[in-house]
Amino acid sequence: MVKILFFIFVFTLPAAVFSQHHQEPESGYYALVAGGSKGIGYAIAEALARRDLNLILIARNTDTLLAAKNRLESLYPIKVETLSYDLSREESATEIARWCTERNIKLKMLCNVAGLGGAEDYLSLSLDSLRYMVRLNVESCMALSLTLLPLLEKHAPSYILNVASMAGFAPIPEKNLYSATKSAVIFFSYSLYYQLKEKNISVSCLNPGPVFTKPSIVKETRQKLGWIGMKMAVAPNKVGEIAVQQTLNGKLIIVPGTGAKLMSIALRALPRRVAVMIYNRVGKKKS
Ligand SMILES: NC(=O)c1ccc[n+]([C@@H]2O[C@H](COP(=O)([O-])OP(=O)(O)OC[C@H]3O[C@@H](n4cnc5c(N)ncnc54)[C@H](OP(=O)(O)O)[C@@H]3O)[C@@H](O)[C@H]2O)c1
């Protein structure tokens, strides 16, 4: 009996602690998706559209933005605004927040999706490319969360969804800078979850394994991770749906797919020195 009660306590407590919001948002509200014109960002935008949320999509390329807007508005009864910004620029977060405030946008959710990986990493990067990756992957997410906080607070209960990566769970020598930027997003999200709890703003962090949003990711996954990586891959639309569903349920750390989930549990349980050694060996073998 004591054993049964112990199991019930252990397995239900985290769900109770991490699920403060259960309701789906009403229509008339907006979600802002930074990096929402394609890939995982577009899939997240579509999952939000299915729930009748109006959208503000941000990306650099105006043609891709417009195509996403047309597709979403033709499929769902929502309004889609598009803003062309380079999120790595220092001024972007302030200008985006000003645009939203001036229009009195009823902001329910901020999704920080835009990010950059790529085949090149720390030792072969120019200083400009290094700064671009840090600004886009880390600074833009932290800055937008801060500049849009007053609007999210005004329309609470509300949500922040940051997109990190499974690469942020342990250091990867071959992808040093990428995994470092993504671990910064994970740490930031963990703390922000508690900082914003009293304001009734829920913070989630999506950590996908491979998601085939472009051919280069398929090639890299096959080369570096072999069949395990191919098995771990989850389709972009599935990732978007899981991310939105679990964000609305108040889940802090989201890992889509059973394979990726198991891998992420192992990565987080291993001592860092062991995880980094394994990643280093695997990287050397495959290169
Ligand atoms: N795909 C994966 O396997 C995978 C796995 C784990 C984590 N992630 C993370 O998930 C996120 C999305 O990845 P994805 O594969 O979906 O990428 P993607 O297909 O390249 O889409 C990136 C989106 O962000 C926008 N964007 C890129 N740079 C930008 C900038 N400087 N300013 C404004 N917008 C910018 C892009 O539009 P424009 O190019 O027009 O600006 C696009 O809308 C990233 O943070 C990535 O690190 C991806």
**Cβ-proximal residues to 35 (8 Å cutoff; 6+ apart), any chain:** 41, 58, 59, 87, 112, 113, 114, 115, 163
Q: Residues 253-276: pLDDT tens digits?
A: 999 999 999 999 999 999 999 999
Q: Is 241 exposed, middle or buried (0-12, 13-18, 19+ CB in 10 A)?
A: middle
Please determine, for residue 96, whether its predicted confidence score (pLDDT) is greater than 90.
yes
Out of 29, 30, 178, 193, the active site residue is 178
Measuring from atom 2 of ligand 1, which residue has the nearest CA?
Answer: 211
**Cβ-proximal residues to 152 (8 Å cutoff; 6+ apart), any chain:** 107, 108, 110, 158, 159, 160, 199, 201
Q: Residues 65-89: pLDDT tens digits?
A: 999 999 999 999 999 999 999 999 9
By percentage, how much of the chain surpasses pLDDT 70? 90
Give the chain's domains with CATH numbers. 19-286 (3.40.50.720)
Please choose from 33, 66, 189, 213 the residue to mutate so as to test ligand 1's pocket, defined by most ligand atoms within 8 A of CB: 213
Q: Dihedrals φ, ψ of 158, to 5°?
A: -140, 180
Report which ligand 1 atom has the smallest distance to the Cα of 43: 16
Please determine, for residue 39, whether its predicted confidence score (pLDDT) is greater than 60.
yes
CB 82 within 8 A of CB 57: yes
Q: Output the pLDDT for position 15.
A: 38
pLDDT bracket for residue 120 (50, 70, 90):
confident
Average pLDDT, the chain: 91
178 is catalytic: yes
Rounded to the nearest whole angstrom, what is the distance from the C-alpha of residue 235 to the centroid of ligand 1? Answer: 15
Please determine, for residue 34, whether its predicted confidence score (pLDDT) is greater than 50.
yes
Query: Does 161 sit in the ligand 1 pocket, CB within 6 Å?
Result: no
Report the b/e string of 78-110 with b at 16+ CB within 10 A: bebbbbebebbeeebbeebbebbeeeebbbbbb
